[in-house]
Amino acid sequence: MIPTPPPSPKPFASCNPEDRLGQVIGYEYRLTGVLGIGAYGTVYKASHVETGVEYAIKALNRFGLDPRQRTFQDREIRLHWDASHHANVVSMERIVDTLDCTYVVLEYCPEGDLFSKITEDCDYVGRDHKAKAVFLQILDAVQHCHSNGIYHRDLKPENILVKNDGWTVKLADFGLANEDRITSDFGCGSTFYMSPECQQSNPKPFACYASEANDVWSLGVILVNLVCGRNPWKRAALEDSTFRAYMRDRNFLQSILSISSGLNGILQRIFEVDPQRRIRLDELRQLIRKCQKFGQEAESASLPPTPPYSPVDSPLAFYGHGLEPIPNIDPLPVQQYPVYAAPSHFATQPSFAPADLPTPPASTTGSPRHGPYTHQAKPAMPAFQGPFAGSATFIPSFPWPRCSNFVPNLASQMCWRNVMVS
């Protein structure tokens, strides 16, 4: 098992990214513009010198990396290559190694990512047919990865690119992917999309969880994003008031989100806290195809404001005991999102609101692990902020800082034994 990715290296300052513009990579691809800058390198727009076809090229710095960082960089390239031969995974065309850089030639998706399509263009909320078509494509991509022993571990709309006016989606960014069915790599991914079992801050010795079930949970949050334009909660943990309310009443999401009874039943199967009872991808596909309607009629949707983020006084709250009534308060202020930009890695980013709120200014792409074509970095999905009257705010998702909560439980065989016994 390869453990958590190491901290990002310091930017390699001896080469200005724009200095490479005009260069021809691998005798075929001319760099024509800068799409994004991150800690590990730069993403360029390029065109084929003969055909004129456009590509995105990741220029990954080789200097300044220690052996562990290079191992993770190589793993990301290898796993993306292994998964890329699928219609709904961003195609990796070629890899060109030079002394200072590894150039990864990728399919170019000029329309950006799914996050922007949901929040800026409002492309899927209220359009069940389109939301279903897109979600089934995401399921296909993830199932393809799992069938090849690859677990993405950072599924979110920022890591899904779109084409054809939002009707075609492509899975991208394999920086946190692994090949371990059972892992002890806790806190890996983005908080809004992590499963409860992935978020243990103080795991017991030999604790572990299943990578496949963790990806399924993330897909459930993405499904809510598509249908409702928000996240169901900020974090699937007892500290989150909305998640506690869901644990107390499994129909709670239907009371705060505009979702049909059929979709509510599907979400209950996805958001099963016991990962061994969580729905599998093949059954999920069947249920999605059979679901006739995702959203409720407008008049039946009544949403209360997000409950405050408060600590849990007792573990009994997990089972619905000792919960105080959720106060009727105004929505929490929208959080700000860190943007990847050089030289400062944490410039602030304007946040997003749903369609029925004033449209925020155009935002750039960002997350401490940005996608292959992001211009700087992109905010994540607006979270569902708990029960409230009126419309919830859709705020950026904060990824945990590159799996910093990893606890090196080194006995993978013991992990397997625990899973099999339980």
For 187-222, the pLDDT digits (tens) are 777 889 999 988 876 666 667 878 899 999 999 999
Q: Which tops the pLDDT comparison, 316 or 286? A: 286
Indicate the range of 23-32, 121-130, 281-290, 366-375 predicted with least confidence.
366-375
Average pLDDT of the chain is: 74
**Cα–Cα dist 194/235, whole Å:** 7
pLDDT on residue 8: 43
pLDDT per residue over 216-248, tens digit each?
999 999 999 999 999 999 999 999 999 999 999
**Cα–Cα dist 178/1, whole Å:** 8
Which H or E run includes 97?
strand 92-97
Q: Which whole-number Å values give the CA distances from 55 to 29, 48, 73, 105, in the listed order?
A: 8, 8, 20, 7
Q: What is the arithmetic mean of pLDDT over 133-159? A: 96
Task: Give catalytic status of residue 154 as yes or no.
Answer: yes
pLDDT higher than 80, residue 144: yes
Band of pLDDT at residue 392, cut at 50, 70 and 90: very low
Maximum CA extent, the chain: 68
pLDDT on residue 3: 53
Q: 241: closest CA among 304, 314, 311, 192? A: 311
**Cα–Cα dist 2/306, whole Å:** 38
Q: Which whole-number Å values give the CA distances from 200 to 64, 309, 310, in the listed order?
A: 32, 18, 17
pLDDT on residue 116: 93
Q: 46: closest CA among 98, 107, 92? A: 107
List, as residue ranges, the binding site for ATP: 58
Total Cβ atoms within 10 A of residue 66: 9
pLDDT higher than 60, residue 338: no
For 11, residues 6+ apart whose C-beta sits below 8 A from its C-beta are 39, 61, 342, 343
Structure tokens at 270: 């996805």
- Strand-by-strand arrangement of the 101-107 sheet: 24-25, 29-38, 41-48, 54-61, 101-107, 92-97
pLDDT higher than 50, residue 346: no
Structure tokens at 55: 């590509």
Band of pLDDT at residue 325, cut at 50, 70 and 90: very low
pLDDT higher than 90, residue 379: no
**Cα–Cα dist 15/169, whole Å:** 34
Total Cβ atoms within 10 A of residue 313: 11
Indicate the range of 88-92, 96-100, 123-127, 368-372 predicted with least confidence.
368-372
- Whether the CA torsion 219, 220, 225, 230 is positive or negative: it is negative
pLDDT higher than 90, residue 276: yes
Report residue 199: phi and psi, to 5°: -100, 15
pLDDT on residue 57: 96
| Residue located via tokens 């084409």 | 163
| Residue located via tokens 């029960």 | 387
- 204-240 burial, b at 16+ Cβ within 10 Å, e below that, comes to eebbbbbbbbbbbbbbbbbbbbbbbbbbbbbbbbbeb
pTM of the model as a whole: 0.71
pLDDT on residue 349: 34
pLDDT on residue 4: 55
Contact 385, 332 (CB under 8 A): yes
Which H or E run includes 342?
none
Question: In percent, how much of the chain has pLDDT > 70?
Answer: 65
Contact 85, 78 (CB under 8 A): no
| Residue located via tokens 């099999």 | 420
Q: What is the arithmetic mean of pLDDT over 182-191? A: 80
Contact 76, 60 (CB under 8 A): no
Q: 44 has which bridge partners?
A: 34, 57
pLDDT on residue 383: 52
Catalytic one of 113, 123, 128, 154 = 154
For 85, residues 6+ apart whose C-beta sits below 8 A from its C-beta are 91
Q: 37 has which bridge partners?
A: 42
For 382, residues 6+ apart whose C-beta sits below 8 A from its C-beta are 119, 229, 230, 231, 351, 352, 353, 354, 392, 393, 394, 395, 396
Total Cβ atoms within 10 A of residue 300: 10
Indicate the range of 106-110, 267-271, 279-283, 300-304 predicted with least confidence.
300-304
